[in-house]
Structure 1
Amino acid sequence: MWRRSAVSRFSSRISLSSSSSRLIPWSRELCAVNTFPQPPPSTAKLAISGAGSDPNRVLTSGAAAATSRIAAAAGLGHHYARCYWELSKARLSMLVVATSGTGYILGTGNVAVDLAGLCYTCAGTMMIAASANSLNQIFEISNDAKMKRTMRRPLPSGRMSVPHAVAWATIAGASGACLLATKTNMMAAGLASANLVLYAFVYTPLKQLHPVNTWVGAVVGAIPPLLGWAAASGEISYNSMILPAALYFWQIPHFMALAHLCRDDYAAGGYKMLSLFDPSGKRIAAVALRNCFYMVPLGFIAYDWGLTSSWFCLESTLLTMAIAATAFSFYRHGTMEKARKMFHASLLFLPVFMSGLLIHRVYDEDKQPLLEAAGLPNSASSEVKTQRRKKRPAQPPVAYASAAPFPFLPAPSFYSP
């Protein structure tokens, strides 16, 4: 009797709670599992962790939300910083900045270098290079998506939108040109802007049309040291052409080796490189070797024109013959291994060559005895360069029209002979 009443009472309790529970048999026992909505795991964890701790250390929901927002913002910032880094080809841009900075130091002609002017020049060059490289990737999205070497870039991979990249390139290019124009001179700003246009709007489309793009790209790479020289001295002289000439000739073996190593990738991307028409590698090796020999006289010219000491002649000649030896080895064998050695030799050549120019450069005060002995005027004195660096007020075109070959035009009122 008692058992029946107990069972009936237990069954009635189960029937009353059946709307909110279900019965699960486990190990011959009846386990009631609540089916009401459970709190989020994060809330449960916070409640459990804070139950036995100091109330002052309990992490409130507002603090947790703020922390999550900060973490999300940091992650987003890291994402876009990485995209900007890759879109700007930052390592290549830093190499361009190094050549521009070397040109600036050579252009000063003095022991003391204007560090502020050097920093402005390097910063402006970096912005221009970042803009040019970004525009290059914007125009080549479809091509980069087909190449293993470039398919993971921000635009082909979809990590950044095209309008975002265009805005970045525009802001970087305009900022770099304005910085060079206001802090150095208009000649440097003009060279930088012209180089941006040449790279993005001439060299980039030419890569898909004709192998001559390599030589046009070499011109683009030769302008930054000229930009740096112009920023320091306000002029372009014969001496300013030595480092640009070395950069122009150096780029040919460098890119010939790269084009041979990445021949299949360039073919997949639709680029017209000389290596695609030369499976054996003989022709591009001959072109590389010829341009290596073109660099041999540069050390003697630098000494003859008073830019460096005689030691640079020996060092530059040995350096040039070393890279020429790798080009000759590639010409004889035509293997990927020899092309890779020539590529690595080209990577070592440029920093060593620029370091030699800086170490053995002759200052203006040391040039004076040499120029007097040769009977030549010292037109590159520091006083002259300082005057040339000073900003001149803008003048209307009539100031130039009044000079020869138009001497019949009246001189302007502000003209002073």
Structure 2
Amino acid sequence: MMKTAAPALSRLESLFGDLLELSKARLSFLVLVTTFVGFMVGWQGPMDYVLLSATLLGTALCAAGAAALNQWWERDLDSLMKRTRNRPLPGRRMHPQDALLFGLFFSLAGLLVLALFTNYRAAFLAFATIAIYVLVYTPMKRMSSLNTLVGAIPGALPPLIGWIAARGVYDLEGSLLFAILWFWQMPHFLAIAWMYREDYANAGCVMLSGSDESGEMTSRQAFLYALCLLMVSLLPAILFFNTAVYFFGALILGAAFAGCALHFMLRRDRPSARLLFLASIAYLPLLLGLLLVTQR
């Protein structure tokens, strides 16, 4: 009995791991964090935990569904890259039709939750996020290096979804959350694109780093976007949406992040690109946490 139960348990664990990978669990968790921050910054009055839970659940389902649809579409491309060839689909541990059904079901379920329990504006933004990510960004990776600019849009929409779910209206303060996430993604993605430029080239992805052998253009753009991020991140305090404590904290964080981008621009090698990538991972939660604890 024990001998037959062990392989079954192992298969279940393997399937669960594949489902987590199919839904890009770490990326989906980041989506949840930014959605939560957007909701909390936008919320006014006594907390509505049902609304908050519905916002996070709906967004999580949409994020998982979009990730699955993206991997279903890119399964042939993923098989050509070292960093993705062991995903469930290129690794042949999951049937493409199952991944497609998973993606469609989770996406529709998430949109339904948002539409029924939050508001139609939040549901529409979630739909736009899925549509741009799957139908525009994914095929664009093989056509133009501008795919990075487009791909940053669905990555920046989750905090705005949280804001809209809480406030019900679009306004400047909510738009600043979108702008911060958009500008943050550019040096983050450019660092990744440089580190894995050969992998992307082998798969036929048209990335800026692919035609930039010296890294001059890629690193310069990463630095310029980091400077823009620094300036945009200060606006919540400058426009009196937040406090002076936030201003100086964001200034320090932004200057440190821009310093890493400058280091990448000067060195233009894999270690400096990796440092910028790691700095981007540290910067975002620190800035979002600062934004939360210092809000007026």
Give the TM-score category using the shorter length: over 0.9
Q: Quick one: structure 1 residues 278 and 302, their matched pair in 2 at CA, closer, same or farther if it must change by over 3 Å?
A: same
Pair 1:91 & 2:26 matched: yes
State the alpha-carbon separation in 1 of the partners of residues 113 and 8 from structure 2. Answer: 30
Map Cα deviations across residues 366-396 of structure 1 (whole Å, 9 max, x no partner).
xxxxxxxxxxxxxxxxxxxxxxxxxxxxxxx
**CA offset at residue 117 of structure 1?**
1.6
Q: Quick one: structure 1 residues 299 and 133, their matched pair in 2 at CA, closer, same or farther if it must change by over 3 Å?
A: closer
Structure with more of its chain in helix, by fraction: 2
**Matched residue, 2:14:** 79
Unaligned runs of 5+ in 1: 1-63, 363-417
Pair 1:359 & 2:284 matched: no
Code of the aligned partner of 2:120: M
**CA offset at residue 116 of structure 1?**
2.1
Map Cα deviations across residues 115-174 of structure 1 (whole Å, 9 max, x no partner).
222221111111111111111111111111111111110000110001111111111111
Code of the aligned partner of 2:13: H
For residue 172 of structure 1, the aligned residue among 97, 106, 114 is 106
Code of the aligned partner of 1:187: R
| Equivalent pair of 1:107/1:232 in contact (CA under 8 Å) | yes
Q: Which runs of 4+ in 1 moved over 4 A?
A: 67-73
**CA offset at residue 69 of structure 1?**
6.1
For residue 272 of structure 1, the aligned residue among 195, 206, 213 is 206
**Matched residue, 2:265:** 331
Pair 1:190 & 2:124 matched: yes
State the alpha-carbon separation in 2 of the partners of residues 122 and 320 from structure 1. Answer: 28
TM-score scaled by length of structure 2: 0.96
**Matched residue, 1:225:** 159
TM-score scaled by length of structure 1: 0.69
Q: Equivalent residue of 1:332, what SS?
A: helix
Code of the aligned partner of 1:98: V
Say what the alpha-carbon RMSD is for the aligned residues. Answer: 1.4
**CA offset at residue 76 of structure 1?**
3.6
For residue 104 of structure 1, the aligned residue among 12, 29, 39 is 39
| Equivalent pair of 2:128/2:154 in contact (CA under 8 Å) | no
State the alpha-carbon separation in 1 of the partners of residues 96 and 233 from structure 2. Answer: 45
| Equivalent pair of 2:180/2:233 in contact (CA under 8 Å) | no
Percent identity, aligned pairs only, is 36
Higher relative CO (Cα under 8 Å, sequence separation at least 6) belongs to 2
State the alpha-carbon separation in 2 of the partners of residues 309 and 269 from structure 1. Answer: 47
**Matched residue, 1:253:** 187
**CA offset at residue 299 of structure 1?**
4.1
Q: Quick one: structure 1 residues 72 and 296, their matched pair in 2 at CA, closer, same or farther if it must change by over 3 Å?
A: closer
Unaligned runs of 5+ in 2: none
**CA offset at residue 82 of structure 1?**
1.4
State the alpha-carbon separation in 1 of the partners of residues 232 and 76 from structure 2. Answer: 41
**CA offset at residue 114 of structure 1?**
2.1
